[in-house]
Chains A and B, each alone.
Chain A
């Protein structure tokens, strides 16, 4: 169980390590007598940087929380506070149970020692006694899958081997709370799949998970809940899909701020700059959602409003599956000569040859004098969606068919 109650973390950057203790002493001895002198000493020896402000959440046993945010938003600080390696400046943290933290994998390893010795050391740090380590040692070695190297010094390991061994130790000590900080981004595809399976297995045993990652799909598939941190504050808190949408909006708006000073505003399911946006979208005869059988024709009608800041505007339509994978799409140039009117409409016809499942359309309007110089003007998700109801697995694998022919012959 994790209970985080209004914590904030202010990093104090000290002029020298001695300042840290000098100020503590001054705080105790000088402040009651002469607050002014104390303030003087304080400001001379220390600068404050706020990394986290007023973050609260509560997780019961078995919950899983994803934490997303841009770099420097305080994600790692939050994890470290929950893990207990950092102290919060104010607020309360209650953590019950054994915490295994995959903060920086392998950082507790001693390069001069063999894999076996490090496994024992690491497991002992996590609070296991000798008998418990003996019991899970074989599992750890099998999971890490590094063969005879387990008897060699860790300094001879490749970084992949090191990560695999470290990960194996952490997940086999049967933690009550598992804290994962982008640790899965390393290792080859085979190990990643194995690691994700293991995480799932641990979660099914009722372990509480705290996950930080830029891999939104993992957040979506593992977490019941997510929070978005920005500048140390909780920007949103809710179901992973909602929070991820907020995050993407944040990312886009940051990119816009970087490239231009135009104000962006939030519009239906997205954002827009300079009035470029899709005002209305519908699938002819269905509205904003259609239930379709395989190979049906679809007629999409869009009303756009346009600003006048783009020299070469394009409408981009993307077809996206449930997991966020972009299947295909099209860049459609917006004719410039009729640009004087700031409203236009377009009809797009396509045949939906997709596997059973839910598909979304994403619309973007960009200014792109060339394909590499794209400036995003608007982006709207989830205006319209399709549900393909027919199971087409007999006809093709994957999400859509590719034309192919085959011919059997007898080989000699």
Chain B
């Protein structure tokens, strides 16, 4: 089943590439600045965070660096937002994937599971742009980029698996239960506030900490912060557990997607 799950990646390589190019360029097609927007938008966001948190709220992250300097709140926040942004993207777009591509269901023979891959890759594309921006910012603020930042792909891999599984699940469910599209947006916001994006998990009481750890982005956000900003090793125990859960979610999503796809044409 697991190997089957990834087979689309090899078999429909060209198709996924074509759809991805279409997906990314369709977002900016017709706009004057085009692809530049995918760089400008995160810069603007970063600017807004810096302004609001540094100059209005005068917020400080509770963890000081080795030389006692207090880290830029905006930088930490931005990394959290980047990670959360991927989940939000998947949650918002997946329920409509099949519903919005009725032609692919009814008019042509189409490997529908590739749609989730395409969504994942376009999300990663956005993330990568934002991430390089962040690295530049880190370099300016800290004067160096921690070498542990090279671990980021390893940390994100299980996250991608989880996102893929969620995407398959929501795409299939979204065909039958149209309400999911409404709920998933709210859920994305909820998950943002119930995660250590705006605050450090260490300021919470223990029982609340446990709850927050069940949030699918908590482990990833914490680990990314450790390696990119603090220059520390991530918590490998959490990451291992997370990977097992993520793999399970991906297999579950794929299995259910394949079960439910038989009925797509009947209700669309």
- A contact set with B: CB distance below 8 Å: 11-12, 14, 17-18, 20-21, 24, 80, 83-87, 99, 101, 103-104, 107-108, 110, 112-113, 117, 120-121, 124-125, 127-130, 133
Pick the 7 closest A-B CB pairs, nearest first: A124-B15, A107-B107, A21-B176, A124-B18, A17-B267, A124-B14, A129-B14
Chain B interface, number of residues (Cβ within 8 angstroms): 31
Chain B interface mostly helix, strand, loop or mixed? helix
User: Which positions 1-31 of chain B face chain A at CB distance < 8 Å?
Assistant: 12-15, 17-19, 21-22, 26, 29-30
Q: Given A108-B104, A124-B15, A125-B108, list of 14 further CB < 8 A pairs?
A: A17-B176, A21-B176, A24-B263, A80-B265, A85-B109, A99-B109, A101-B109, A107-B103, A124-B12, A124-B14, A124-B18, A125-B15, A127-B15, A130-B14
Q: Which residues of B lie under 8 Å from residue A103 when comparing CB positions?
A: 107-108
B175 to A17, Cβ gap below 8 A?
yes
Q: How far is the CB of A301 from chain B (nearest CB, A)?
A: 56
B262, CB-defined interface residue at 8 Å: yes
Q: Please, how many angstroms separate the alpha-carbon atoms of A17 and B108 in the complex?
A: 22
B22 to A113, Cβ gap below 8 A?
yes
A14 to B108, Cβ gap below 8 A?
no
B266 to A12, Cβ gap below 8 A?
yes
Closest partner residue, chain B, to A132 (CB atom): B14
Q: Which residues of A lie under 8 Å from residue B19 when comparing CB positions?
A: 121, 124
From the candidates B15, B176, B265, name the one contacting A85 in the complex (CB within 8 A).
Answer: B265
Q: Which residues of B lie under 8 Å from residue A130 when comparing CB positions?
A: 14, 17
Binary flags per residue of B245-263, CB closer than 8 Å to A gives 1, else 0: 0000000000000001011
Closest partner residue, chain A, to B101 (CB atom): A108
Known: A17-B175, A110-B22, A121-B22. A85 touches B106 (CB 8 A): yes
Known: A110-B26, A128-B14. A18 touches B106 (CB 8 A): no
8 residue pairs A–B, Cβ–Cβ below 8 Å:
A20-B266, A83-B109, A87-B262, A101-B108, A101-B109, A113-B22, A128-B14, A129-B14
Q: Please, how many angstroms separate the alpha-carbon atoms of A117 and B25 in the complex?
A: 11
Known: A112-B26, A120-B18, A121-B18. A20 touches B263 (CB 8 A): yes
User: Which positions 185-235 of chain B face chain A at CB distance < 8 Å?
Assistant: none
Q: Please, how many angstroms separate the alpha-carbon atoms of A108 and B110 in the complex?
A: 10
From the candidates A99, A107, A117, A129, name the one contacting B13 in the complex (CB within 8 A).
Answer: A129
Q: Which residues of A lie under 8 Å from residue B260 when comparing CB positions?
A: 21
A87 to B265, Cβ gap below 8 A?
yes
Closest partner residue, chain B, to A121 (CB atom): B18
Q: Please, how many angstroms separate the alpha-carbon atoms of A145 and B108 in the complex?
A: 24
User: Which positions 106-154 of chain B face chain A at CB distance < 8 Å?
Assistant: 106-110
Q: Please, how many angstroms separate the alpha-carbon atoms of A99 and B263 in the complex?
A: 21
Q: Which residues of A lie under 8 Å from residue B267 when comparing CB positions?
A: 14, 17, 20
Closest partner residue, chain B, to A113 (CB atom): B22
B105, CB-defined interface residue at 8 Å: yes
A84 to B109, Cβ gap below 8 A?
yes
B265 to A86, Cβ gap below 8 A?
yes
A18 to B14, Cβ gap below 8 A?
no
B44, CB-defined interface residue at 8 Å: no
A112 to B108, Cβ gap below 8 A?
no
Q: How far is the CB of B121 from chain A (nearest CB, A)?
A: 15
B177 to A17, Cβ gap below 8 A?
yes
Q: Which residues of B lie under 8 Å from residue A18 when comparing CB positions?
A: 176-177
Q: How far is the CB of B42 from chain A (nearest CB, A)?
A: 24
Q: Which residues of B lie under 8 Å from residue A133 when comparing CB positions?
A: 14
B178, CB-defined interface residue at 8 Å: yes
Q: Which residues of A lie under 8 Å from residue B105 when comparing CB positions?
A: 85
A108 to B107, Cβ gap below 8 A?
yes
Q: Please, how many angstroms separate the alpha-carbon atoms of A1 and B109 in the complex?
A: 17
Q: Which residues of A lie under 8 Å from residue B110 when comparing CB positions?
A: 125
From the candidates A14, A110, A112, A124, name the one contacting B266 in the complex (CB within 8 A).
Answer: A14
Q: How far is the CB of B95 from chain A (nearest CB, A)?
A: 12
Q: Which residues of B lie under 8 Å from residue A99 when comparing CB positions?
A: 109
Closest partner residue, chain A, to B174 (CB atom): A17
Q: Which residues of A lie under 8 Å from residue B265 when comparing CB positions?
A: 80, 85-87
Q: How far is the CB of A162 from chain B (nearest CB, A)?
A: 14
Q: Please, how many angstroms separate the alpha-carbon atoms of A112 and B28 in the complex?
A: 11
B177 to A21, Cβ gap below 8 A?
yes
Q: Please, how many angstroms separate the alpha-carbon atoms of A129 and B103 in the complex?
A: 21
Closest partner residue, chain B, to A131 (CB atom): B14
Q: Please, how many angstroms separate the alpha-carbon atoms of A14 and B178 in the complex?
A: 14
Q: Which residues of A lie under 8 Å from residue B21 when comparing CB positions?
A: 117
A85 to B22, Cβ gap below 8 A?
no
Known: A17-B178, A117-B22. A112 touches B107 (CB 8 A): no
Q: Which residues of B lie under 8 Å from residue A128 when comparing CB positions?
A: 14
Closest partner residue, chain A, to B103 (CB atom): A107
Binary flags per residue of B155-183, CB closer than 8 Å to A gives 1, else 0: 00000000000000000010111100000
Closest partner residue, chain A, to B173 (CB atom): A21
Q: Which residues of B lie under 8 Å from residue A85 when comparing CB positions?
A: 105-109, 265
Q: Which residues of A lie under 8 Å from residue B262 when comparing CB positions?
A: 87
Q: Please, how many angstroms separate the alpha-carbon atoms of A345 and B13 in the complex?
A: 75
Q: How far is the CB of A12 from chain B (nearest CB, A)?
A: 6
Q: Please, how many angstroms separate the alpha-carbon atoms of A158 and B184 in the complex?
A: 39
